[in-house]
Amino acid sequence: MTSYKELGLVNTVELFKKAVKGGYALPAYNFNNMEQMQAIIQASVETKSPVILQVSAGARKYANQNLLRNMAKGAVEYAHELGYDIPIVLHLDHGDSFELCKDCIETGFSSVMIDGSHLPYDENVALTKKVCEFAHSQKDYVTVEGELGVLAGVEDDVSSEHSNYTQPEEVQDFVGKTKVDSLAISIGTSHGRTKFKPEQCTRGPNGILIPPPLRFDILAEIEKRLPGFPIVLHGSSSVPQEYVEIVEKFGGKLTDSVGIPEEQLRQAAKSAVCKINVDSDGRLAMTAIIRKVFAEKPDEFDPRKYLGPARDELKKLYAHKNVNVLGSAGQA
């Protein structure tokens, strides 16, 4: 049994309180390897931003949970060495069972998500409540994120007739019964690099796809029912077209890539949305640079020579987000 405090980590309680009050959102960046973690910490220290390091079930499988947990401990020391102690949260992303959440809680995670959003409402309540009871009864309080409403995937229909958007009339009951510390909602974001089908978008100049706007009306309705309660947005990559173009220029194929415009995320961050999840943009940035290095230097075979530039680009991207999109810069 390891408490997150022993690793130098913090939970989200105070960070979310400050973020909701201050009108900004914390970055929640996924990591699976050392370069991603270095980029996240470098960007967060440089911009003096608190940060949430996210580990998915897939990341645990890929990289080994003990290594990732110890990397988070290392991240705290690394930030210190870089010259600024920032608050760091280690968070389980999309936990799908009580057992997985329990295991993370017992091995040093300071925050977990239990994603029961695909379950019938009552089962989602029961599972989320069970995780909260366990997490909150630890010697060091572990925070829990729940989810209501299903994020659309590219296969799903996000039109209002067949909406899986969060139903505002359910949120008070869900939060009251489960005692979650934050709630992920569905207002039009989705996971991956193709957040909308082309036919759901309009075409801008040069044929650029313009996605339908987020449902700020639903967000406002939720805020009215749960004033000041921490809200989370998943699937919030912006899918920068510069990266898509670099990938395609150097042999990749990323047809129909479209993300959430930065201005809309900025607007959301000013509300009770206090955690914004980004993974796909980091994947795009790294892939773009690695493809470029391979194309321009075909004789290069030292991984540091392509992972290093990819890491530098990732750091630049995350610093930009902290400053210009989330507003978390200067809040550590």
Q: Which residue, 46 or 93, is less far from ligand 13P as judged by CB?
A: 93
Check residue 12 for interaction with ligand 13P (CB under 6 A).
Answer: no
Contacting ligand 13P within 267-326 (CB under 6 A): 277-281
Q: Which stretch binds ligand G3H (CB under 6 A): 56-64, 137-145, 213-221, 246-254?
A: 56-64
E strand or H helix at 26, and its extent? strand 26-30
Paired tokens of 188: 């039009």
First to last CA, the chain: 29
Nearest to 175 by CA among 236, 232, 248, 255: 232
Q: Which stretch binds ligand 13P (CB under 6 A): 68-76, 123-131, 216-224, 233-241?
A: 233-241
Q: Which residue, 19 or 284, is less far from ligand G3H as judged by CB?
A: 284
Residue 118 labeled ligand binder: no
Q: Is 308 helix (H, G, I), strand (E, B) or coil?
A: helix
- In this chain, which of 129, 215, 234, 315 binds Zn ion, going by CB under 5 A? 234
Write down the catalytic residue from 85, 93, 96, 281: 93
Go through 236-257 and write b for each residue having 16 or more CB atoms within 10 A of its CB, e for each that does not: bbbbbeebbebbeebeeebeeb
The CA–CA distances, whole Å, from 239 to 170, 186, 235 equal: 31, 19, 11
Sign of CA dihedral 306, 309, 312, 313: negative
Contacts of 84 (CB under 8 A, 6+ apart): 45, 48, 332
Q: Which residue, 69 or 191, is less far from ligand 13P as judged by CB?
A: 191
* C-beta atoms surrounding 204 within 10 Å: 9
Residue 191 labeled ligand binder: yes
Find the shortest distance in angstroms from Cβ 93 to ligand G3H. 6
Q: Which residue, 35 or 115, is less far from ligand 13P as judged by CB?
A: 115
Find the shortest distance in angstroms from Cβ 300 to ligand G3H. 27
DSSP secondary structure letter of residue 329: T
Q: Which residue, 7 or 28, is less far from ligand 13P as judged by CB?
A: 28
Contacting ligand G3H within 26-55 (CB under 6 A): 30
**In residues, how long is the chain?**
332
Paired tokens of 310: 């990819």
Residue 320 labeled ligand binder: no
Check residue 236 for interaction with ligand 13P (CB under 6 A).
Answer: yes
Contacting ligand 13P within 139-198 (CB under 6 A): 191-192
Partners of residue 53 on adjacent β-strands = 29, 90
256 annotated active-site: no
Burial category of 123 from C-beta neighbours within 10 Å (exposed 0-12, middle 13-18, buried 19 and up): exposed
Q: Which does 236 bind (CB under 5 to 8 A by kind): ligand 13P, Zn ion, ligand G3H, none?
A: ligand 13P
Please give the Cα distance from 262 to 324 (Å, whole number): 8
Residue 234 labeled ligand binder: yes
Q: Which stretch binds Zn ion (CB under 5 A): 21-29, 130-138, 259-267, 269-277?
A: 269-277
Please give the Cα distance from 105 to 103 (Å, whole number): 5
Which positions from 178 to 217 touch Zn ion by CB under 5 A, shown as an x/- string? ----------------------------------------
Residue positions in the annotated binding site?
A: 94, 115, 147, 191, 234
> Which residues make up the interface to ligand G3H (CB under 6 A)?
30, 56, 58-59, 93-94, 191, 279
Residue positions in the annotated binding site for Zn(2+)?
A: 94, 115, 147, 191, 234
Active site positions, annotated: 93
